């Protein structure tokens, strides 16, 4: 599932990585080729593609800018759930260019984050290219997302964000009950598991994973644009799951207003609607 805009540049050279910062071109990585392009609409923006699939967007001047709509929806959800002074412990399953990790650091400066990235070469390039917070604020861990999640200590994270794709699909091993159960075990009380679910118009993946998460967690919710929920296109659905209510009732109006902004207005489905759809 293409996760954002951007086109692969034709015939781009493969420059050597430089500590001075990013340079456009194709770079060999452990899992294929990473293509780094300048954002044509921003002097400080960069688009990362992995094997021809748009993966991430980074604005070096503004870590709070999220170019991919589904990431903006995740950010809106986290802002509605956690106060600005929260000392979050966040785990990112899937790294890319660390766009969400950079956003979390800008919104929650005291957060402690770990980003799990399967491709060690890509993780190294991203650390060279972009202005990432240093440990202990942000650590990059090379490994398979499910294995790392399964190895973590119980009740040690407040937020787990899963954004893992192989091509246009999330590996099936990360969408089943075992991974959901591990996420529940690793989350502290009041924690939340947020996943990016790539879907065809039939929404089969959303329906299946909503059922899985609903069986493990007491509360689920989802965010997508209306056309996506109506099965009119391919795209992304953000699913959230927790053992506590996803959001307090008083936060829903403000979240609704925020989701209506941006280039792609979105809709919030509460627990009852997600479970009804999953059935």
* CATH classification of the domain holding 268: 3.40.50.150
Q: Which helix (H) or strand (E) holds 54?
A: strand 53-59
Q: What is the pLDDT of residue 7?
A: 29
Residues of the chain by 3-state class (helix, strand, coil), percent to 5: 30, 30, 40
- Residue 14, domain member (yes or no): no
Report residues of the chain scoring pLDDT below 50: 1-18
What is the extent of the structural domain holding 195?
69-278
Q: Is the dihedral of CA 185, 187, 192, 198 positive or negative?
A: negative
| 99, two tokens | 């766009």
In a domain, 152, yes or no: yes
245-273 pLDDT per residue, tens: 999 999 999 999 999 987 899 999 999 99
pLDDT at 21: 84
Per the domain annotation, does 131 fall within a domain? yes
53 falls within a domain: no
In this structure, is residue 26 part of a structural domain? no
Identify whether the C-beta of residue 257 lies closer than 8 Å to the C-beta of residue 107: no
Classify residue 214: in a domain, yes or no.
Answer: yes
How buried is residue 253: exposed, middle or buried, by Cβ count under 10 Å (0-12/13-18/19+)?
A: exposed
> Is residue 1 assigned to a domain?
no
**CA 6/CA 47 separation, integer angstroms:** 7
Contact criterion met (CB below 8 Å) for 266 and 224: yes
**Angle, alpha carbons 17-68-86 (nearest 5°):** 90
pLDDT digits (tens, 9 = 90+) for 19-65: 568 999 999 999 999 999 999 999 999 999 999 989 999 999 999 99
Q: Is residue 58 part of a domain?
A: no
Tell me how many domains the chain contains. 1
């Amino acid at each position: 599932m293409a996760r954002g805009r951007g086109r692969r540049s034709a015939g781009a050279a493969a420059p050597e990585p430089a500590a001075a910062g990013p340079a456009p071109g194709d770079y060999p990585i452990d899992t294929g080729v990473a293509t780094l392009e300048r954002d044509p609409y921003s002097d400080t923006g960069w688009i990362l593609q992995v094997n021809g699939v748009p993966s991430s967007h980074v604005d070096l001047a503004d870590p709070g800018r999220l170019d991919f709509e589904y990431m903006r929806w995740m950010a809106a959800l986290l802002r509605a759930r956690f106060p600005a002074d929260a000392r979050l412990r966040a785990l990112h399953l899937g790294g890319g260019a660390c766009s969400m990790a950079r956003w979390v650091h800008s919104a929650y400066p005291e957060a402690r984050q770990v980003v799990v990235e399967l491709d060690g070469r890509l993780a190294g390039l991203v650390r060279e290219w972009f202005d990432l917070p240093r440990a202990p604020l942000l650590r990059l861990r090379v490994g398979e997302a499910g294995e790392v999640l399964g190895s973590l200590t119980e009740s040690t994270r407040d937020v787990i964000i899963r954004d893992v794709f192989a091509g246009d699909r999330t590996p099936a091993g990360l969408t089943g009950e075992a991974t959901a159960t591990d996420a529940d075990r690793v989350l502290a009380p009041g924690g939340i598991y947020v996943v990016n679910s790539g879907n065809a118009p039939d929404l089969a993946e959303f329906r299946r994973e909503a059922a899985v998460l609903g069986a493990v967690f007491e509360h689920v919710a989802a965010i997508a644009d209306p056309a996506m929920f109506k099965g009119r296109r391919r795209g992304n659905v953000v699913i959230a799951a927790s053992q506590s209510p996803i959001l307090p009732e008083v936060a829903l109006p403000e979240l609704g207003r925020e989701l209506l902004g941006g280039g792609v207005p979105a809709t919030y489905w509460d627990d009852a609607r997600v479970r009804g759809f999953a059935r």
